[in-house]
Amino acid sequence: MSRAKKYFYVNVRLLNGRCMIYKLPRDLQYPMWQYVNENPKKWQNLLKEALINVPIRPYKNNKSVIRVGIIKSVFIKKEIRVWSARSQFLVSSNWKKKNYQELKKYRSFLKHDFSTWNQILIDIDTLRWWFRFRK
């Protein structure tokens, strides 16, 4: 009997309030399993409230519109057909800084390797999340 492979998924809320399920990309699956093995009781908190890049439209010619959402939960399931998030994310302790200069140094990681238009959208989304959670 074959054992079905399981993957990590995230429930992501976008700025417009819409929630979507995304599979974490392949390059994050193995590190997540390592983290689960090392932290079996707190692994679900690792990415909670992290900002993550996600496609909001189907890919056409290997391109999509990328927005930044906030991870509401992380879970493990057998493979389901959903879109995959991108590998760029910021854990909450890095983006919830009160100082804008600190946020600025982290948000460039989210924009790396994207088109100029997507970089602008990512910048705007990151700032909007920051303003929402700033104390």
- pLDDT of 103 reads 82
pTM of the model: 0.90
Q: Does residue 113 form part of some domain?
A: yes
Count how many domains the chain has: 1
20 domain-assigned: yes
pLDDT of the residue at 3: 54
Does residue 33 have a pLDDT over 80? yes
Residue 15 lies in a domain: yes
Structure tokens at 94: 């890095």
Quick: pLDDT tens for 60-91: 888 899 999 999 999 999 988 889 999 999 99
CB neighbour list of residue 98: distance below 8 Å, 6 or more residues apart: 134, 135
For residue 114, the one-letter residue type is: F
pLDDT of res. 2: 46
- CA dist 98 and 96 (Å) reads 6
**CA proximity to 86, closest of 56, 53, 39, 120:** 53
pLDDT at residue number 124:
95
The reply to whether 16 falls in a domain is yes
pLDDT at 119 over 60: yes
Reduce the DSSP state of residue 52 to 3 states and report it: strand
Answer whether residue 20 shows pLDDT above 70. yes
Asked whether residue 1 is assigned to any structural domain, the reply reads no
Quick check: helix, strand or coil at residue 24? coil
Token representation of residue 46: 């690792």
Residue 61 lies in a domain: yes
Contacts of 122 (CB under 8 A, 6+ apart): 53, 66, 67, 68, 107, 110, 111, 114
pLDDT at 107 over 60: yes
pLDDT reported for residue 18: 96
Q: Considering the domain boundaries, does residue 56 fall inside one? A: yes
What's residue 1's pLDDT?
43
Q: Which range of residues forms the domain containing residue 12?
A: 6-133
Judge whether 116 lies within some domain: yes
